[in-house]
Chain A
């Protein structure tokens, strides 16, 4: 998969000297749709709702209201096995995801701002098992969201982020065993944190 063009375009944006960067630290939770929905074996593999931490750095792109944001998100949860063929429900070892994004950000209305961009999601299983028996995997991802801020001090804001992203999931073992195409996965995250202007 090639790096999306908009992502490359976002990287070299330069801000004027003296513009105000900001650091964001947030925590919350992420819901993911199924990594696999196996129609032949009537089995879904879905990460449980994952505690999530996010760290980001934002920078103005010019004199306008737009900013570019580089963001790393860490989430970790076990994998739920959901079956509809009487073979039982189960929970497998945890998988961590590290999502790195570059996002453009602009105003919607008032304290509400939009985000859109892309990056990569890295799957790091705690055990080599099942679809992760070959270990880690990574996929390109597109993402968007909304943020809401409220000033706490002269340099710090309360920050609420609602984010959705999408990627196509597959692994080496799935491809080796004849699973065609990929599973489209959507994730929804809700994070609360602070935005500290530097």
Chain B
């Protein structure tokens, strides 16, 4: 039996869980419509979210960066997205033009403005039925010539902000150092943005998603 002691020692190695940090530095991420509270996040069964942007679009690299930034905010794959080649199968359609959507569903463009470019996200969220009707639409476009030096930074900030709405942050941060500030200046995802997104994905969604193609 004495010969077995080394192996037994491995079996009784100390068991302990990692010490998780608190997630409490957040801002309001929900929308309030008609006295009702709307909280939305993508359900795991719909991941990865399929995003379409034209292969030759000048804003495509900023979409890639924004997806990567928000994916990396999470440790357990709560939000994942992939680019698709066919817009008819997309959950989110991204265009380098001003918004041209309108129609039967309530549209709530959420605008982000920087001096050189604009962004608009239409989450296709109907507060009366509490549904998101896919596809969502995201628009980002320059308001000055594409040759103006500030355009790349504006695109980077604005696309990250708009994809923040796509993942389900339906409100704006009151803090100017967050990318989800209404008129964002921060190019990245702050700790507060990250903790807000994590909180959103670990609390119930009150909205269901319909219309996936």
Contacts and interface: CB of A to CB of B under 8 A. Distances in A.
A64 interface: no
B20 to A, nearest CB: 4
Interface residues of B, number: 36
A37 B18 CA distance: 7
A47 to B, nearest CB: 14
A163 B186 CA distance: 51
A85 to B, nearest CB: 5
A136 interface: no
Interface residues of A, number: 50
Given A87-B202, A89-B44, A177-B21, A166 B6 contact: no
Given A87-B78, A130-B76, A131-B75, A37 B10 contact: no
Contacts of A104: 6
Contact of A184 (B3, B16, B23): B16
A34 to B, nearest CB: 8
B11 A144 contact: yes
Given A179-B21, A181-B18, A130 B11 contact: no
A164 B76 contact: no
Contact of B10 (A45, A81, A92, A144): A144
Contacts of A166: 10, 13
B63 to A, nearest CB: 18
Contacts of B109: none
Contacts of B78: 87
A143 to B, nearest CB: 6
Nearest to B10: A144
A90 B78 CA distance: 9
Interface in A97-152: 104, 106-108, 114-116, 129-131, 133, 142-146
B17 A37 contact: yes
A36 B6 contact: no
12 contacts: A36-B76, A39-B20, A41-B20, A43-B76, A81-B77, A87-B202, A142-B13, A164-B7, A166-B10, A169-B18, A181-B16, A181-B19
Interface of B: 3-4, 6-11, 13-23, 43-45, 47, 71-72, 74-78, 80, 198, 201-204
Given A81-B76, A116-B9, 17 more contacts: A36-B18, A45-B76, A81-B44, A87-B202, A88-B45, A89-B44, A104-B6, A108-B3, A108-B4, A114-B3, A114-B6, A142-B9, A164-B7, A173-B75, A177-B21, A181-B16, A186-B15
